[in-house]
Amino acid sequence: MIQITMPLNFLGTVYREIRQAMIDMSEMFDLLEQPAEVKDAPDAKPLAVTGGEVVLDDVRFGYDPERPVLKGVSIRVGAGETVAIVGPSGSGKSTIGRLLFRFYDVTGGAIRIDGQDLRAVTQESLHAQIGVVPQDTVLFNDSILYNIAYGRPDATRDEIEAAARAAKIHDFIRSLPEGYDTQVGERGLKLSGGEKQRVGIARTLLKNPPILLLDEATSALDTETERDIQSELKAMGEGRTVVTIAHRLSTIADADRIVVLVKGEIVEEGTHAELLAANGRYASLWSRQAAELPDDEPRLAHPGKD
Ligand code: ATP
Closest listed residue to residue 59, CA positions, set 106, 117, 121:
106
Closest listed residue to residue 255, CA positions, set 98, 46, 111, 75:
75
pLDDT digits (tens, 9 = 90+) for 229-248: 888 888 889 999 999 988 77
Q: CB of 45 within 8 A of CB of 204?
A: no
Q: Which of 21-30, 160-169, 185-194, 280-289 has the highest mean pLDDT?
A: 160-169
> Which range is least confidently modeled, 217-221, 229-233, 265-269?
217-221
3-class DSSP assignment, residue 60: strand
Torsions phi, psi of 287, nearest 5? Answer: -70, -30
Q: How far, in Å, from the CA of 251 to the mean position of ligand 1?
A: 22
Return the ligand 1 atom nearest residue 91 CA. 6
- Confidence band, pLDDT 50/70/90 cuts, at residue 186: confident
Give 274 or 187, the one with higher predicted confidence. Answer: 274
Q: How far, in Å, from the CA of 252 to the mean position of ligand 1?
A: 21
> What integer is the mean pLDDT of 56-69?
96
Q: Whose CA is nearest to atom 1 of ligand 1?
A: 89
Instruction: Assess whether pLDDT exceeds 90 at residue 251.
Output: no
pLDDT in the model for residue 20: 53
In angstroms, rounded to a whole number, what is the distance separating the alpha carbons of residues 235 and 229? 10
Q: How far, in Å, from the CA of 246 to the mean position of ligand 1?
A: 14
Closest listed residue to residue 119, CA positions, set 42, 213, 20:
42
> What integer is the mean pLDDT of 254-273?
96
pLDDT digits (tens, 9 = 90+) for 141-162: 999 999 999 878 899 999 999 9
In angstroms, rounded to a whole number, what is the distance separating the alpha carbons of residues 196 and 140? 11
Closest listed residue to residue 128, CA positions, set 145, 159, 152:
152
Q: Among 60, 95, 216, which is best to mutate for testing ligand 1, by the most ligand atoms less than 8 A from CB? A: 95
Q: Whose CA is nearest to atom 20 of ligand 1?
A: 90
Q: How far, in Å, from the CA of 189 to the mean position of ligand 1?
A: 34
Q: Is the CB of 179 under 6 A from ligand 1?
A: no
Q: What does each C-alpha distance from 149 to 37, 41, 59, 159 come to in angstroms?
A: 30, 31, 36, 9
pLDDT digits (tens, 9 = 90+) for 92-151: 998 999 999 999 999 999 999 999 999 999 999 999 999 988 767 888 999 999 999 987
Instruction: Assess whether pLDDT exceeds 80 at residue 227.
Output: no
pLDDT in the model for residue 23: 55
CB-CB neighbours of 286 under 10 Å:
22
DSSP string across 94-129? HHHHHHHTTSS--SEEEEEETTEEGGGB-HHHHHHH
Q: Burial of 224 by CB count in 10 Å (0-12 exposed, 13-18 middle, 19+ buried)?
A: exposed
In angstroms, rounded to a whole number, what is the distance separating the alpha carbons of residues 211 and 127? 10
pLDDT in the model for residue 253: 83
Instruction: Assess whether pLDDT exceeds 50 at residue 3.
Output: no
Q: What does each C-alpha distance from 260 to 50, 62, 222 come to in angstroms?
A: 28, 19, 25
Q: How far, in Å, from the CA of 214 to the mean position of ligand 1?
A: 17
> What integer is the mean pLDDT of 285-303?
59
Q: Is the CB of 90 under 6 A from ligand 1?
A: yes
Closest listed residue to residue 118, CA positions, set 47, 62, 188:
47
Q: Is the CB of 69 under 6 A from ligand 1?
A: yes
Q: Whose CA is nearest to atom 19 of ligand 1?
A: 90
Q: Among 25, 94, 104, 135, which is best to mutate for testing ligand 1, by the most ligand atoms less than 8 A from CB? A: 94
End-to-end CA, the chain: 69
pLDDT in the model for residue 27: 53
Beta bridge partners of 226: none
Q: How far, in Å, from the CA of 55 to the mean position of ligand 1?
A: 21
Q: Whose CA is nearest to atom 25 of ligand 1?
A: 63
Q: How far, in Å, from the CA of 95 to the mean position of ligand 1?
A: 6
> Which range is least confidently modeled, 36-40, 203-207, 251-255?
36-40
pLDDT digits (tens, 9 = 90+) for 195-215: 998 999 999 999 999 999 987
Q: CB of 188 within 8 A of CB of 141?
A: yes
Q: Among 34, 60, 67, 93, which is best to mutate for testing ligand 1, by the most ligand atoms less than 8 A from CB? A: 93
Q: CB of 218 within 8 A of CB of 229?
A: yes
